[in-house]
Copies of this chain bind each other. A is one copy, B any other.
Amino acid sequence: MKRRPNGVSRPTIVDVADVANVSRQTVSRVLADHPRVAPATRLRVEAAIEDLGYRPNRMARALVTRTSLTFGFAAVDMRDLHFGDTCAGMQAEARKHGYYLVVTKLDFEDDRGVGTLETLLTLGVDGIAFFPSFMEDTEIELFASTSGCPVVMIGRGSKIPHVVSIALDETAAADLIVDHLVQSGKRRIGVLMNEMYPKIVHDRFVALGRAITSRTDGVEPPVEADYPQISHGRDAATTLLQRRPDLDAIVGFNDTMAMGALLACHDLGLRVPEDVAIVGYDGIPFGAITSPPLTTIVQDSIGMADAAFKALLSCVQDGTPVEGEVVLWRPELLIRGST
């Protein structure tokens, strides 16, 4: 029972073996629920474990088994409810299957995020799910092919070798939004994006741009805020409305930015939806209580989380290397008062 540099010592498997008068290996067998252990021996070992308050060291175990029963999860900001819901969904699913989730913030400073994923790997995770906010596809491919574990990307529908991509069908979502707006008589549609999730922003804007251009006189460049938050959305929408005072609809990158647009309209004395209609993405609960409540593309975060977990699990269990596959999720337009 050696001591840690600071604090109390924790018993090891040897301590348990000594107390129970068996070998380490027998303790190991009891822990693994191995069948061929005499019932009496098993009881002795279990009693010793209980007495000592022994807990196996998962790092030592993982070193030998090359399996930590741990997956890594990385996103820029867990407080963003789409990320948060996905993370929570994966945690729940993981627990059901005896896995733990190691959650980490994805940092731009850290090699555009690759460094963060590498650290997850050095921590010994068996697989990784992440939102590729600022990572380049080529970097992701390189990472995945050298990672030695399954890698799932959520939020972008790029086909990348060795990576399972799970994403909203951005084209379908954009069509839903723009059809709805055009049917409501809107013709001059502006877009609010942000610099925090440039990769997802890119896909979303491309899809929206196509949909808008094909149904109206065309789309102009989006206004990009630094962060996808209420106050930044408000500023961005104000800028947009100054540039194009004739806009009759604004699509925000997410609900939070759309809420900012709501505020900007209030500021400028514009009625929503009569003067300007507003649409967001994600379907967060707060969107239901703004005035007017927000029309939004609902994302099935939990469903995507389940799919991500299952993709990781099946790769690990079958030993199948990841082929590179894109799973697109059907969007749903929740129409409320803002359109």
A residues neighboring B (CB under 8 Å): 4-10, 53, 55-60, 62-63, 66-68, 70, 77-79, 81, 84-85, 87-88, 91-92, 95, 100-105, 107, 118-119, 121-124, 145-150, 229-231, 259, 262-263, 285-286, 288-291, 315-316, 318-321
Contacts and interface: CB of A to CB of B under 8 A. Distances in A.
Contacts of A286: 230, 259, 286
A59 B6 CA distance: 18
B79 A84 contact: yes
Contacts of A58: 122-124
Contacts of A145: 8
Given A5-B66, A286-B230, A88 B95 contact: no
12 contacts: A7-B149, A7-B150, A10-B148, A55-B122, A57-B122, A58-B124, A59-B62, A78-B79, A79-B85, A103-B103, A230-B286, A230-B289
Give 5 nearest A-B pairs by CB, closest first: A103-B103, A79-B84, A59-B59, A6-B319, A7-B148
A100 to B, nearest CB: 6
Contacts of A53: 146
Give the one of A7, A146, A230, A263 with max B CB within 10 A: A7
Nearest to A10: B148
Give the one of A88, A285, A315 with max B CB within 10 A: A285
Contact of A289 (B7, B290, B315): B290
B63 A88 contact: no
A105 B85 CA distance: 12
Nearest to A72: B102
A124 B85 contact: no
A289 B284 CA distance: 15
A102 B120 CA distance: 10
B57 A147 contact: no
B60 A288 contact: no
Contact of A320 (B6, B121, B315): B6
B122 A105 contact: no
A93 to B, nearest CB: 12
Contacts of A88: 77-79, 105
A132 to B, nearest CB: 19
Contacts of A105: 88, 91-92, 95, 101
A230 B284 CA distance: 11
A104 B104 CA distance: 10
A90 B73 CA distance: 17
A149 B10 CA distance: 10
Contacts of A121: 10, 55
A150 B288 CA distance: 42
Contacts of A259: 286, 289
A318 B6 CA distance: 8
B147 A8 contact: yes
Contact of A104 (B60, B67, B100, B289): B100
Contact of A107 (B5, B95, B122, B149): B95
A315 B104 contact: no
A123 B78 contact: no
